[in-house]
Amino acid sequence: MCHNCRGSAKDNECSICSKTEKVLSECSRYLKKLHRQCHKVIYVNISCDIVQLINPFSLQEKVQAVKVQIKKEKMKPIDILAIYRVSTTPSKFIEELETEINNNISNETVIFRDLNIDQLSSNNDLKLIFNNNSVQQIICEPTRITEVSKSLIDLIIVNRNGYQISGVIRSALSDHDLIYTVRIIKQNYKSVQQTRIVRDFSKADIEATRKSIEDDPWWTLDESKDF
């Protein structure tokens, strides 16, 4: 996941997985190695503090998760939870996920990655959780495409507005495509009040000023040794 504030289209944009092509070109070998090891990568490109939080899931053999909090001055903290869920995970995972969503109502939270529950299917427990807890799943395209099937199992779940752009990037690194979203940051800058004394030229006679400059004895400067 890329959290990037610099080089965006606008200075007030903070993007998750934006500029992915550039990141992949720089880190492709490293990412391939991590993919083989089933690790999760969180890439941060802003000056901020990152605090690792407790894994909220008890079924750690079936659910791999990394939870961190991003802190930055003049910005509210953001909790980020990356999940990989084995398809045979017991239903207790759904209960613990809903508990985690409820526990983070007051905090801005992004939950993402491979939950192995197809959102293209009309009936699944996740959709009910999203509706009941006022959160949004913002990836709409299939993220795993084979010769015989298409499924949407890599998700981004958010509990705040402001994630106006999201999508899927087709990737050769894995049989799962990359997912991304762009978050808009609104920053309130408070300027320090200053008082300055300046000349008021709103009523100045420009022609009289020009004539006065032309009539001044500028030739005296040629004879002045102190100038």
User: How far is 72 from 49, CA to CA, in rounded Å?
Assistant: 6
- State pTM to two decimals: 0.65
For domain 2-184, give the CATH number. 3.60.10.10
Record the tokens describing residue 78, joined without a space. Answer: 């953001």
User: Which residue, among 146, 97, 151, has the nearest Cα to 121 in the 3D structure?
Assistant: 151
Q: Which of 76-90, 103-117, 202-216 has the lowest mean pLDDT?
A: 202-216
Contacts of 124 (CB under 8 A, 6+ apart): 117, 118
| Rounded (5°) CA angle 55-176-69 | 30
Mean pLDDT throughout 98-118?
A: 92
Contacts of 33 (CB under 8 A, 6+ apart): none
Q: Which of 8-17, 38-47, 82-91, 184-193 has the lowest mean pLDDT?
A: 8-17
More confident residue, 145 or 38: 145
User: Which residue, among 160, 134, 122, 172, has the nearest Cα to 21 in the 3D structure?
Assistant: 172
Give the single-character DSSP code of 105: T
pLDDT given at position 23: 46
